[in-house]
Amino acid sequence: MKKIKLAYLGLIVLLSLLWWVADPLLPNGYEYFALRKLAINYTGIIGIGVMSVGMMLALRPVLVEPALGGLDKTYRLHKWLGITGLVMSVIHWLWAQGTKWAVGWGWLVKPKRVPAPAQTDPILSFFEQQRGLAESIGEWAFYAAVVLIVLALTKRFPYRLFFKTHRLLAIVYLFLVVHSVMLMPFDFWGHAVGPVMVLLMVGGTVGAAVSLSGRLGRRRRAVGEIDELVRFPDNRVLKVGIRFEDRWAGHQAGQFAFVTFDSAEGAHPFTISSGWADDGRLFFLIKGIGDYTARLPDLLQIGDLVVVEGPYGRFDFTSGKTRQIWVGGGIGITPFIARMKALAAKADGRNVDLFYSTAEPDEEFIGRLTRDAEAAGVNLHVLVSSRDGRLDVKRICNTVPQWSEADIWFCGPARFGQALREGFTARSFSPDNFHQELFDMR
């Protein structure tokens, strides 16, 4: 989280400084309307700037994963930028439209406009002539963006519809680029903010074009065939084994992939639950926690073709510690299963304690987990919440007296992870040694 917070704040500060250099901080003249002009310029720069970066991050750029801590963190930053863009757009719209309403209602008196000298530059003259059109484009694109972003943030909005409607934001973004280019003050092009905004909008436009063309992640896709289906009814988990027909580049334990079982539904992210043995196979453990995943056991059949895109993520268990503590909450156990598979093939010499907390125990599932732990040399602690109570920091520390010498890897419900992070931090445990998968892609 620290990396994406710094990236987010750094972007806002950079854009603010670029705007500040180009726009006078203390306006002269008619106070309210001068302030309105500043506010419109500032919110416009921040709004289109964060949207442009967000559009580029939507490309799932693997190159920035190390800097941001993985694609899950990248998508969290993408979400923050989308919300910031929405807030700035609303403020931008209120300053523009609210002032017009206030003048119309007689609450404000618009200052007399001094005729500007005739524009002799044909390009600038063309831009001035298109101001009305650019304002209309921006207004309607704003309305569309509000609706689409709100839908994207609404968890109850079905994923299959989110998958389709979210792509429309690329079209809306392109209209906002036109609006921004046409209405950016001419003086800005002579300052650093001008070329920087050009670079950002060009990058965002490329991202929008790739998204609309359906080529997102195309180079990282591989077609496979389902060759194994195992149901664990008591914890509503389905094991889906896949044998690739295309070449799969391989993966590290803890990474995830986007899997398309049904093109109408779109790609869903799932943690890869197996190590990589270069045998052309992998498997996923999928819990039926939503309408679509709950229906998968009845929808999938041996021999079905699927598309797997990836791998992504940096939940890779890399650290300089000789001891690790793993905590898997519910289906969050999946990356640890993959890691144990890898350790069974090649040990790394670390002392590992794995805590598996579940409210829905399945005997066969736990039996397989126990065998994996034994093969990997991992100390497994299974806690059933109805029988053993909740897993908390005190219980982990009592079970592993050397906890302060370890780093902690958590995957599971976000609130559970936050509670553990805060509890360990309160015991002077460094937050940098607490690694958490932010498995929330919308």
Token output for 78 = 């993408």
Do 158 and 283 lie in one domain? The reply is no
Coil/strand/helix, residue 162:
helix
What gap in Å lies between CA 69 and CA 304, rounded to an integer? 34
Q: Evaluate whether residue 441 is within a structural domain.
A: no
Do 291 and 418 lie in one domain? The reply is no
End-of-domain residue from the set 213, 234, 256: 213
Residue 164 vs residues 60, 86, 87, 218, 223: alpha-carbon distances, Å: 17, 20, 23, 17, 22
Do 332 and 420 lie in one domain? The reply is yes
Do 33 and 118 lie in one domain? The reply is yes
* Element containing residue 270 per DSSP (H, E): strand 268-271
What gap in Å lies between CA 72 and CA 312, rounded to an integer? 8
Q: What was the pLDDT predicted at 277?
A: 82
What gap in Å lies between CA 258 and CA 271, rounded to an integer? 9
Coil/strand/helix, residue 8:
helix
Do 352 and 296 lie in one domain? The reply is no
Burial class (CB in 10 A: 0-12, 13-18, 19+), 214: exposed
Residue 3's identity, in one-letter code, is: K
Q: Evaluate whether residue 317 is within a structural domain.
A: no
Q: Evaluate whether residue 430 is within a structural domain.
A: yes
* Element containing residue 407 per DSSP (H, E): strand 407-411
End-of-domain residue from the set 312, 331, 360: 312
What gap in Å lies between CA 435 and CA 438, rounded to an integer? 10
Full domain range(s) for residue 231: 218-312
Do 35 and 87 lie in one domain? The reply is yes
Do 88 and 168 lie in one domain? The reply is yes
Q: What was the pLDDT predicted at 106?
A: 80
Q: What was the pLDDT predicted at 425?
A: 95
CATH number at residue 237: 2.40.30.10
Do 84 and 224 lie in one domain? The reply is no
Do 172 and 270 lie in one domain? The reply is no
End-of-domain residue from the set 312, 343, 360: 312
CATH number at residue 37: 1.20.120.1770
Cβ 7 vs Cβ 68: under 8 Å: yes
Taking the CB of residue 129, how many other CB atoms lie within 10 A of it? 11
Mean pLDDT of each 10-residue bin along the chain, 442 residues long: 90 96 70 86 97 95 90 92 95 91 82 65 68 88 92 82 88 96 90 96 96 89 95 94 89 93 89 89 91 90 96 90 95 95 92 95 95 96 92 96 96 93 95 85 62
Cβ 42 vs Cβ 171: under 8 Å: no
Torsion of CA 71, 77, 78, 79, to 10 degrees: 120
What gap in Å lies between CA 178 and CA 182, rounded to an integer? 6
CA 412 remoteness from chain centre: 16
Provide the whole-model pTM. Answer: 0.88
Tally of domains within the chain: 3
